Amino acid sequence: MEETFFILKPDAVKRGLVGEVLHRIERRGFQLTRLEQCQIERTTLEKHYSDLVDKPFFPSIADFMMSGPVIIGTLAGVGAVQAWRDMLGATDPAKAQAGTIRGDFALGAEPGQSLKNIAHGSDSLESARREISIWFGE
């Protein structure tokens, strides 16, 4: 059984899509193993996105991710890491296939702004372990 980490980003919370996304997680047969609402702190976000901190668009990501409450959690199931990434779809919502979470609910970004793509998912088992330890201190 694999476990992966997710964030329902501020756009999902503001647009009332939390229930919809959690429903998709449960319907797929994943178990919700942790679930918490929080306001992201900059130091945590910088650890989480350590590979993006030096990118020119990082300030816009930080503004967006700290613009309101988020839901953080973990889900478990067979092949959970890749299955959750597949459910999310492409990073850029404009390129995400219909049927994926980003393809169904997210919109294109304004130039110079962060992509607002509803949810995060760890991109590998190693990232999942790392992110669970960052966000839940385990």
* Contact string (CB under 6 A) for ligand DAT, positions 28-67, x = contact: ------------------------x----x---x------
The three-point CA angle 127-33-23 to 5° equals 100
Residue nearer to ligand DAT on the CB measure, 57 or 136: 57
CA–CA separation, 32 and 127 (whole Å): 18
DSSP for 52-95, please give it: TTTSTTHHHHHHHHTSS-EEEEEEEETTHHHHHHHHH--SSGGG
- Catalytic: 48? no
Q: Which stretch binds ligand DAT (CB under 6 A): 10-18, 22-30, 76-84, 115-123?
A: 115-123
Among 25, 71, 120, 122, the active-site one is 120
Q: Name residue 121's beta-bridge partners.
A: 6
Q: Interface with ligand DAT includes 91 (CB under 6 A)?
A: yes
Judged by the rule CB under 6 A, the positions of this chain that interact with ligand DAT are: 52, 57, 61, 91, 114-115, 117, 120, 123
User: Which residues does the annotation mark as catalytic?
Assistant: 120
